[in-house]
Each structure stands twice: as structure tokens, then as C-alpha cells.
């Protein structure tokens, strides 16, 4: 038994040497053959120190929103913008969902903004309002990509009734949203105040201005409105600079292209069901309801005429 100890020690040393040798062999892998992509290799520092959250993201020195400079030299303004900015860069799942949905909705919004002569940055207001989910409702009853209340929507020609809610059609509600924003900008003279009024109402912004304050950044406003423009500005910073904050600089994968559909004006016989419509058009029940969210709240349809959309037929 006394001779077995040195043998065991020798065996342990041999196994340790073999393990170290195999590790060096793995580190010195040969180049991949032509036509074969090498496996990605993480370099030291890519992921930071174990257990340490990366926090050294910096705000730009002169951030803007809708062409207007944000006065980040004011300590309170800098801190509030940085607060919203850091919340977003450390919420990658939400940012990535925005990036994917933007593939579907930004082309439509950007085109309308350009033709209307409005700032391209207003597209980020839609992100802040609805997360680019056109069929979403707020607890207060606002709905759609631009989160219109029913009364406001009707005032801009968007139909809202017990049967039909056109706030949920991104393209139909878009002109109303842009018209409303343009009117607010005309009333208050700059875009930060116009966006704040979009959130809180023009009367509340006028009241705050009468209490004192030279601009949006100095007004005494409800907490949600005090954060509102900062959050939209932070959304712009993160989405425009996504690769610098660790997001893939390639277009996100997934089926997020703009919806393609055929549209007609339809008057439904009394008691028309979604199942019967799906069968008659040869499409899936769910597909049909997703294309027509403005009607999807009803189990049966009747009357009209209503906008009705079906998957685009191949040419």
C-alpha cells in the first residue's frame, strides 16, 4: 500500500498535463476550409467582466429632437435624458422588438412625414406611444399606433363606433396623428412643447407656461409628461445608434415586412361570421382578423360599407 501513493500522484500529473495540452490544441484551431464560416469567437472584453454590468454608455454632446437641440448642459436636463437613455440600453429585448417592428411601420410613417414636410423624428413618438403595436389599447381607452382617444380620433375623421375602430388601422390613423401634431406645433411654436401637448393636452401645457418656464425643459408638468419628450429623445438615440450599444448592425431577421393586402369596401349581410368570411376567401380565420383589427372586436358583422382587407393575391 505504501508504494501506491507515488503511482497515483504520477497518474494525476499525467492527466493534468494531457488536459492542459488539449486546451492549447482547442485555442490553436486551424482556419476553416473555404466556403465554411468559422464559428464566432468571443474576444476578451467583448462581454465585460463576469458579473459586472456594462454602464459606460455616453450621451452625445449635442442631442436633438425634431431638429431642436436638447440643452444637456443643464444638469437636470442631462440627468433626466440619461435616465431614460440608460433604461433603454439596458432593456435589449424591448429595443430589439422596436427595431423589428420598425421594418414594418417606419417606411409608411417616414414617407408620410416627408410628404407632409414634418420632421422625421416624429416617428419615434409612435414608438413611445404604442411600441409600434397598432392594435394596442391603453387603460384610459386610447388606441392604435398613435394612441388616439375616441373623441379626438373622430374629430380628425377617423371612424370609431361600436362596430368599427379605424384607430387600429395604422395607415388610416396616420394622417390624423400627423395633422394633430402639426396643429400643436403651430400653436406652441416648437416640437418639444407640441409633443408634450400631444401627451397632456394643449390646455395643460398652456397652464404650465403661464406658471413660468421658458421652454418644455423648465415647465412644471405631470410626471408622465415630464418624462415624455425625454423618453422619445432616448428612443431616437438608442434606435439610431443601436450598433454602438451592442445591437447587431445588420437588419434584424424575421418576417416583419410591411403587410401586403387587397382592400375593398364591403357591406356585410346581417349575421356574417368571421368563419364564413375565412371560408369564402380561402384564408385562415386568424389571418383575416389580423388584417382587419378595426372590425375584429365583433363576433359577427353586418351593414357597412367597411374597409375590408384580405391577403394580397399573387399577380
d(CA 15, CA 1): 22
Nine-digit cell string for 142: 386610447
- Class of the CATH-defined domain 261-311: alpha beta
Nine-digit cell string for 231: 423618453
**178: closest CA among 100, 66, 99, 265?**
66
92 CB neighbour count, 10 Å cutoff: 14
**297: closest CA among 171, 150, 126?**
150
Domains 64-245 and 261-311 fall in the same CATH topology = no
How far CA 121 is from CA of 67, 200, 229, in Å, comes to 8, 19, 12
pTM comes to 0.80
DSSP state of 245: G
Identify whether the C-beta of residue 88 lies closer than 8 Å to the C-beta of residue 117.
Answer: no
The chain-wide mean pLDDT, for the chain, equals 85
Q: Per-domain residue ranges for the chain?
A: 64-245, 261-311
Q: Which residue has the cell 504520477?
A: 10
Nine-digit cell string for 71: 440643452
Which uninterrupted H or E stretch holds 21? Answer: helix 4-27
| Cα-trace Rg, the chain | 28
CATH architecture of 64-245: Orthogonal Bundle (1.10)
Give the CA count within 13 Å in the CB-facing half-sphere of 233: 30
Q: With the CA atoms of 296, 260, 252 and 111 taken in that order, what torsion angle do they form, in degrees rounded to the nearest 10? A: -100
d(CA 197, CA 203): 8
pLDDT at 35 over 80: no
d(CA 313, CA 260): 9
Q: Over the stretch 109-118, which tens digit does the pLDDT of each residue have?
A: 999 999 999 9
Question: Can you tell me the mean pLDDT for 144-164?
Answer: 96
252 CB neighbour count, 10 Å cutoff: 16
Please indicate whether residue 260 or residue 20 has the higher confidence score (pLDDT).
260
d(CA 25, CA 71): 55
1 CB neighbour count, 10 Å cutoff: 4
- Judged by average pLDDT, the poorest of 18-27, 157-166, 255-264 is 18-27
Question: Can you tell me the mean pLDDT for 30-36?
Answer: 34
pLDDT at 170 over 60: yes
| DSSP, residue by residue, 85-124 | HHHHHT-HHHHHHHHHHHHHHHHHHHHHHHHHT--GGGHH
Please report, rounded to a whole number, the percentage of residues in the chain having pLDDT higher than 70.
81
d(CA 253, CA 250): 9
265 forms beta bridges with 307
Q: Over the stretch 182-240, which tens digit does the pLDDT of each residue have?
A: 999 999 999 999 999 999 999 999 999 999 877 999 999 999 999 999 999 999 999 99
How far CA 133 is from CA of 48, 102, 127, 176, 240, in Å, comes to 34, 10, 8, 17, 20
What pLDDT score was predicted for residue 247?
A: 84
d(CA 10, CA 43): 35
Question: Can you tell me the mean pLDDT for 80-93?
Answer: 94
Amino acid at each position: 500500500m505504501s508504494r501506491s501513493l507515488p503511482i497515483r500522484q504520477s497518474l494525476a500529473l499525467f492527466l493534468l498535463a494531457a488536459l492542459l495540452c488539449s486546451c492549447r490544441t482547442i485555442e490553436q484551431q486551424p482556419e476553416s476550409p473555404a466556403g465554411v464560416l468559422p464559428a464566432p469567437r468571443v474576444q476578451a472584453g467583448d462581454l465585460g467582466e463576469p458579473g459586472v454590468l456594462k454602464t459606460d454608455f455616453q450621451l452625445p454632446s449635442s442631442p436633438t429632437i425634431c431638429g431642436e437641440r436638447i440643452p444637456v448642459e443643464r444638469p437636470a436636463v442631462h440627468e433626466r435624458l440619461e435616465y431614460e437613455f440608460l433604461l433603454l440600453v439596458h432593456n435589449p429585448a424591448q429595443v430589439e422588438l422596436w427595431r423589428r417592428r420598425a421594418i414594418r411601420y417606419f417606411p409608411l410613417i417616414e414617407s408620410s412625414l416627408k410628404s407632409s414636410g414634418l420632421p422625421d423624428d416624429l416617428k419615434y413618438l409612435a414608438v413611445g406611444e404604442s411600441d409600434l403595436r397598432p392594435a394596442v389599447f391603453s387603460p384610459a381607452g386610447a388606441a392604435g399606433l398613435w394612441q388616439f382617444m375616441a373623441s379626438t380620433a373622430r374629430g380628425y375623421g377617423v371612424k370609431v363606433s361600436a362596430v368599427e375602430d379605424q384607430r387600429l388601422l395604422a395607415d388610416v390613423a396616420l394622417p390624423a396623428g400627423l395633422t394633430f401634431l402639426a396643429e400643436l406645433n403651430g400653436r406652441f411654436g416648437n416640437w418639444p412643447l407640441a409633443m408634450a401637448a400631444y401627451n397632456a393636452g394643449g390646455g395643460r401645457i398652456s397652464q404650465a407656461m403661464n406658471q413660468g418656464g421658458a421652454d418644455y425643459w423648465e415647465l412644471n408638468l405631470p410626471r408622465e409628461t415630464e418624462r415624455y419628450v425625454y423618453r422619445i429623445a432616448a428612443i431616437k438615440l438608442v434606435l439610431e445608434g443601436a450598433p454602438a450599444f451592442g445591437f447587431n448592425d445588420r437588419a434584424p431577421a424575421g418576417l416583419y415586412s410591411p403587410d401586403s393586402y387587397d382592400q375593398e369596401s364591403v357591406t356585410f349581410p346581417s349575421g356574417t361570421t368571421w368563419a364564413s368570411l375565412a371560408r369564402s376567401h380561402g384564408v385562415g380565420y386568424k389571418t383575416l382578423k389580423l388584417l382587419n383589427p378595426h372590425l375584429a372586436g365583433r363576433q359577427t358583422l353586418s351593414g357597412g360599407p367597411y374597409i375590408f382587407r384580405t391577403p394580397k393575391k399573387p399577380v
